[in-house]
Amino acid sequence: MDAALWVVRLPPHDPRTTPLSVVDMHTGGEPLRIVHAGCPEVAGPTLLAKRRYMRHHLDYVRRRLVFEPHGHRDMYGAVLVPSELPDAHLGVLFLNNEGYSSMCGHAVLALGRFAIDFGLVPAPPDGTQEAQVNIHCPCGLVTAFVACEGGRSRGPVRFHSVPAFVLAADLTVDVPGHGKVVLDIAYGGAFYAFVSAEKLGLDVCSAKTRDLVEAASTVTEAVKAQFKIKHPESEDLSFLYGTILTDGKDAYSEEPTTNICVFADEQVDRSPTGSGVTARIALQYHKGLLQLDQTRTFQSSATGSVFTGRAVREGKCGDFKAVIVEVAGQAHYTGTAILTVEDDDPLRDGFLLK
User: Would residue 104 show up in a list of annotated catalytic residues for this protein?
Assistant: yes
Query: Torsion angle, CA of 139/140/141/146, rounded to 10 degrees?
Result: 0
Euclidean distance between CA atoms 64 and 66, whole angstroms: 6
Please pick, among 104, 148, 261, 317, the residue that the annotation labels catalytic.
Answer: 104
Roughly how many angstroms between the first and final C-alpha of the chain, as a whole number? 38
DSSP per residue, 111-157:
HHHHHHHTTSSPPPPTT--EEEEEEEETTEEEEEEEEEETTEEEEEE
113, 135 contact by CB (below 8 A): no
**CA of 110: how far to CAs of 92, 126, 146, in Å?**
12, 22, 10
CB contact burial 294-313 (16+ within 10 A = b; e otherwise): bebbbbbbbbebbbbbbbee
Cβ(215)–Cβ(197) below 8 Å? yes
DSSP state of 198: G
Q: How far apart are CA 15 and CA 172, in angstroms?
A: 55
Residues in the chain: 354
Contact 184, 170 (CB under 8 A): yes
Q: Could you give the residue numbers annotated as active site?
A: 104
